[in-house]
Amino acid sequence: MKKNKKRMTFLGIAIALTTILLVTPAVANFLSVASATANCAGYSLTVSAADLTPGTTYTINYTFTVTSNGTPKTFSGTITFTATASAATETASGTWSLTSSSTVTGSATLTSSGSTLPITINGSSSATLSCGVGHNSKYFVTYYSNNVTAAPDATVHYQRWRCWGIRSWRPVCRLLRVRR
């Protein structure tokens, strides 16, 4: 009786383990790599997916979040492709116009499986871009004037200005010195 009980227990454990191994679903359709290069004018994205079924159409949704001066802005896009093999690498690019220092982060999702990866941007999980002549930069403009025909021996006059935000629609300037 004890031998039968031990055999039945062993047989029950063996069946349970076999069931667990056979019933565990396989991970299908996943993103393996999501990387991008980004600069002040835009981005170039490369996404790789694996365990695909050839002939099936897949969609990858991606989002970049650009934070400038504490304000986030989202740039989203979609890549739709038909798999020709069990793995695929797809690309996308887009433009933006950044005029101040910005931090960029992003993520990509393969919609068929929900597989999501953070996008590696310029080799890191987030990228800091220094765009335009921002508030931390200095830009000097010098204006010269000399009426050569009326007073050829006159002293050259100039004004030296320090300006911030030159690439924005309204730069801020301050007169540093005037020489006569």
* Residue ranges making up the domain that contains 149: 139-179
- Same domain? 109 vs 173: no
**37 and 69 share one domain:** yes
Which residues does residue 162 pair with via DSSP β-bridges, in sequence order? 140, 174
CA dist 67 → 43, 73, 90, 104, 176 (Å): 15, 6, 26, 7, 32
> What pLDDT shows up at residue 2?
59
Cα(138)–Cα(87) distance, integer angstroms = 49
Residue 18 forms part of a structural domain: no
Domain with 105 in it: what CATH number? 2.60.40
User: Hey, which bits of the chain come out as E strands?
Assistant: 30-39, 42-50, 57-68, 71-82, 88-95, 102-110, 115-118, 120-121, 127-129, 139-145, 157-164, 172-179
User: How many independent structural domains does the chain possess?
Assistant: 2
Structure tokens at 111: 């919609």
Helices (H), 35-174: none
> Does residue 134 form part of some domain?
no
**What pLDDT is recorded for position 19?**
52
Model confidence, pTM: 0.61
Across the chain, which has 180 residues, the per-10-residue mean pLDDT values are: 60 55 60 94 95 96 94 95 95 91 95 95 93 51 44 47 49 52
